[in-house]
Structure 1
Amino acid sequence: MPRALMFCSLCQKWDTKGRNGSVVWNKIGCETIRLDKVNAHELSKMHEDSIHLEKNELSTIDETLGKLQKSEMTALIDAQKVLYFLIKHHLPHMTLFKPLVNLCVELGAKNLANLSQAKNATYTSHVIIQDFIDSQSDIVEEKIQAKMRSSESYGLMLDEYTDVATRKHLAFAGRYIEEGESKLAFLRDVEIPNGTANTIVENIKDYLHDADLDKSKMTCFASDGPAVMTGKKNGVVAQLKKENPSLIDIHCINHRMQLAVSSAFKSVTSIENVEELLMGLFK
């Protein structure tokens, strides 16, 4: 559009007073405005005042958005504190998180009141809770991994299990030395396509690589003792020992006890022998 056909939207609308309160310089649109008059208007005090007011409005909007984002961030941080409290005290976080947040708001938690921005943006759904858990677990895991890297040696404990949806998982736990004491910590839960030895070994190597853990410093490996873990030819331990011959494999004592009791009870012929059998096992 030719400049002569433009009008100043900052200073005025066609049929109202200007933004700065001044009387408009033209009430009716004109298609034959002289260019020198437009240039003169741009240099006028009325136009400069309008620009100043426009900038002030924009800065106010930026400040408002900044405060809004800060309040939302504070609310999200406090929400994670609520979730951490539930997990720390072994309470069902998926069912209690939203009611506990609502209780805190009702009791005057001003920050958490900013958590609900709309009916469909409350940050209390199961998806959000899982995102919170993932972010918290990543931080905890990174700290544990750093301690394992600084330890003179470390060990891994693995348990393969199937969830209620019949999906296979691997639970990783690590043991390491910190200030002369042996420490144990849960590391990660990984979903796997199947429970074969090759798949488990592949996931172990991937985890060690991602965590930047030296394979040669892994001195022990513990499991619940199934054939897939302890098989002499192609079990997980056998494959790991090919790269680290000094690795010590440990069969979980609790699982060994359960196997011993199961085997012992197979030899029981009458209920009278049960007490005698149990006394013999625990001597």
Structure 2
Amino acid sequence: MDKFLIRKEASGSRESDSEQSLNPTNSNVKKARIRHYLNRQYNESYLKFGFFWSGDAAQPNPLCVVCGDKMSNESMVPSKLKRHLTSKHSSLQDKDLVYFQRLLDQQSKQRNVFEKTMTASERAQLASIEVAEIIALKSKAHTLAESVILPACKKIVKSMFGEKAEKEISKIPLSNDTIHRRILDLSENIEKKVQKKLQDSTFALTVDESTDISNTSHLLAFVRFIDGREIINQFLCCKGMSTTTRGQDIFDVITDYLREMNLTWKSCVGICTDGAPCMTGCIKGFVSLAEKENPDLIRTHCFLHREVLISKISQEDLKLVLHQLVEIVNYIKSRPLKSRLFEQLCKGMDSQHVRLLMHTEVRWLSKGKVLTRVHELHNELIVFFDQEKQGKFCEHLRCELWMSKLEYLTEIFSQLNNTNSSMQGRNENILTSTDKLVALKKKIIIWKNRASSGNFDMFPSMRTTCIKEMIPIVVSHLTALDENIDHYFPSLSTEKYDWIRNPFMNIPSNIGLQLCEEEELATISSDRDLKIKHSTVPIDSFWISVQEEYPTLSKKALSLLLQFSTSYLCELGFSTLNNIKTKKRERLRSTEEEMRVCLSHIRPNIEEVAKKHQAQVSH
């Protein structure tokens, strides 16, 4: 037994005892070292008794390779190991070392296979979640994963890496229900992230309501808030409204969701909506009800909607030309045979386009695009209607005055469409949108002055044969546009907010700032380091960076920069809703979750989602 134990050296000295009593730390260290040396170590010869080791290498425990019993370190002696073999496995006491070595190798292989399977299942779960995110981003049906993506991946992997890799790909769970659950988990992860970020930030809302293909009303809301050193736009919610869509109903839905997110109206700095009575009604409108909760709210009527209202034609002569133009287009577009014949005619004449565009009143850019397309296919239309013997339409298209009016409408609506398109962006705010409308107003005044003197250089496609007849028509329409801008945008000037864009310029005293705000502005304008920083970073990042040092002024600046100027994001969201809820998916119940994964600026943490569930491979 002496060769299996390291015995403690006997000191027996009174001097050493006294040293240990005087220095207890050294005594404890020596005892720990002794205990370490007394730990029994595994010897390869123990395998003939059917024992291997497990646990810590410094203090191993004997492990029976037959029954899996684990014994204490004190049992790591041949006599105790042999007693276990003879008492519990008497039928194996005559087996040699090779037999137990074979048992140990089999257990090692089984352990490796199990660990490999667990690792593969975790990878398969991660791949399943990533595929679910792709499907949600593309607004596709859940069955696409199992019916298209998985077979395609198997074909590709088999061709590139062989059948073994194909079997691994088959383990990824991609069924319809699995993808549905994955999207719900991704949506929940995003929602928790948004909730956490909104707790310590003010925010602005843009809200709109529309119906889907199944006539279900949906209330869509986006939020804009400060995230780190930037201002971001984020999908907030999409709630179905089963009955009425009054202002009180909209207010209740948004309030309930804010309460679920542990938010209040006090943190909201502004709301942007369209001009519907349920949104902007002075008594029972949604915004009016929200203002009762927070009187400091900034309300904004969508700039895009107002720009479309500005472009409404009030002059009877121009309105008649537009009506006749729609008749011409509808004669061809509403008849499939006429559309095919016109297409063949355009191909034979090597035309730039082969189809006309349909005018739709609810599509804001439709009017200008239809006018432009008809003007470009003017000659082709004359030839086509001559063949069709439609003298009324040919008479319009050959009339110089009628064509001059059409060309003017084409030019002016192209300008209006350009302005509308320039305001359709994710990062638009009140300052940038106002600048574009101010520029349009100035252009209209310039065009009106030049048109009054018979100069139509600003409209290059207009004919010069009917200038005298067109002068009063053009001037009258431009005057109406100018008046409409003043009507729908009564306060178009943003000069009093120039300090937000550049706090280092000479600011007039009558800009509506309080004393503490003016003092902070004076301090900022005198800081040369901030002036250099202002020239290198965006406006929103600059004001976010000085929040702690100048809280009052930065809060006022950011409340304006946060405010939405258009409902562009809501319109974009409704387009996504139409892609998600098609005729074949009109009974989809997870609409909000699908849209959150598709439209969110904040992306989910896929590894965090994967850890919440036990990994399972597909059978």
TM-score interval, normalised by the smaller of the two chains: 0.5 to 0.7
* Separation (CA, whole Å) in 2 of partners of 1:276 and 1:229: 36
1:162 Cα deviation from its structure 2 partner: 1.1
* Separation (CA, whole Å) in 1 of partners of 2:169 and 2:134: 15
Gaps of 5+ in 2: 1-65, 67-86, 93-108, 158-164, 323-401, 417-439, 441-619
Structure 1 residue 92 corresponds to structure 2 residue 140: yes
* Structure 1 counterpart of 2:207: 158
1:241 Cα deviation from its structure 2 partner: 0.6
Which of 124, 140, 147 does residue 197 from structure 2 map onto? Answer: 147
SS at match of 2:237: strand
* Structure 2 counterpart of 1:192: 241
Q: Determine which structure has the larger strand proportion and give its number.
A: 1
Amino acid at match of 1:168: S
Contact 2:128–2:179 (Cα < 8 Å) also in 1 = no
1:211 Cα deviation from its structure 2 partner: 1.2
1:142 Cα deviation from its structure 2 partner: 2.3
Structure 1 residue 168 corresponds to structure 2 residue 300: no
Contact 1:230–1:236 (Cα < 8 Å) also in 2 = yes
* Structure 2 counterpart of 1:75: 124
Structure 1 residue 132 corresponds to structure 2 residue 182: yes
SS at match of 2:124: helix
Contact 1:229–1:237 (Cα < 8 Å) also in 2 = yes
1:101 Cα deviation from its structure 2 partner: 2.5
* Separation (CA, whole Å) in 2 of partners of 1:259 and 1:209: 36
Structure 1 residue 228 corresponds to structure 2 residue 278: yes
1:175 Cα deviation from its structure 2 partner: 0.4
Which of 255, 259, 263 does residue 205 from structure 1 map onto? Answer: 255
* Structure 1 counterpart of 2:171: 114
Amino acid at match of 1:113: S
1:73 Cα deviation from its structure 2 partner: 4.3
Contact 1:225–1:251 (Cα < 8 Å) also in 2 = yes
1:124 Cα deviation from its structure 2 partner: 2.3
TM-score (norm 1): 0.65
SS at match of 2:225: strand
* Separation (CA, whole Å) in 2 of partners of 1:190 and 1:67: 44
SS at match of 2:283: coil
1:130 Cα deviation from its structure 2 partner: 3.0
Contact 2:216–2:240 (Cα < 8 Å) also in 1 = yes
Does the C-alpha gap of structure 1 residues 266 and 91 become closer, same or farther in structure 2, counting only changes over 3 Å? farther
* Structure 1 counterpart of 2:232: 183
Amino acid at match of 1:190: K
Contact 1:80–1:132 (Cα < 8 Å) also in 2 = yes
After superposition, the C-alpha distances for 1:109-147 in whole angstroms (9 at most, x for unaligned) are: 6654213xxxxxx6322x433332222122223223322
Q: Determine which structure has the larger helix proportion and give its number.
A: 2
1:220 Cα deviation from its structure 2 partner: 0.6
Does the C-alpha gap of structure 1 residues 67 and 218 become closer, same or farther in structure 2, counting only changes over 3 Å? same
Instruction: Give RMSD over aligned pairs.
Output: 3.7
Contact 1:162–1:169 (Cα < 8 Å) also in 2 = yes
Contact 1:231–1:238 (Cα < 8 Å) also in 2 = yes
1:48 Cα deviation from its structure 2 partner: 11
Contact 1:86–1:92 (Cα < 8 Å) also in 2 = yes
* Separation (CA, whole Å) in 2 of partners of 1:220 and 1:178: 17
Residues paired across the two proteins, number: 226
SS at match of 1:164: coil
Does the C-alpha gap of structure 1 residues 241 and 86 become closer, same or farther in structure 2, counting only changes over 3 Å? same
After superposition, the C-alpha distances for 1:10-58 in whole angstroms (9 at most, x for unaligned) are: xxxxxxxxxx9xxxxxxxxxxxxxxxxxxxxxxx736999xxxxxxxxx
1:178 Cα deviation from its structure 2 partner: 2.7
After superposition, the C-alpha distances for 1:182-224 in whole angstroms (9 at most, x for unaligned) are: 2111122221223222221111111111112232110011122
Structure 1 residue 123 corresponds to structure 2 residue 174: yes
Q: Which range moves more in the overlay, 272-281 or 204-213?
A: 272-281
Does the C-alpha gap of structure 1 residues 80 and 102 become closer, same or farther in structure 2, counting only changes over 3 Å? farther
Does the C-alpha gap of structure 1 residues 167 and 144 become closer, same or farther in structure 2, counting only changes over 3 Å? same
Contact 1:141–1:188 (Cα < 8 Å) also in 2 = no
TM-score (norm 2): 0.32
Does the C-alpha gap of structure 1 residues 103 and 201 become closer, same or farther in structure 2, counting only changes over 3 Å? same
* Separation (CA, whole Å) in 2 of partners of 1:97 and 1:232: 49
* Structure 2 counterpart of 1:38: none
Contact 1:75–1:113 (Cα < 8 Å) also in 2 = no
Structure 1 residue 246 corresponds to structure 2 residue 296: yes
Gaps of 5+ in 1: 1-19, 21-43, 50-59, 116-121
The share of aligned pairs that are identical, in percent, is 25
Q: Which aligned runs of 4 or more in structure 1 are off by greater than 6 angstroms? A: 60-67
Amino acid at match of 1:185: Q
SS at match of 2:320: coil
* Higher relative contact order (CA closer than 8 Å, sequence separation 6+): 2
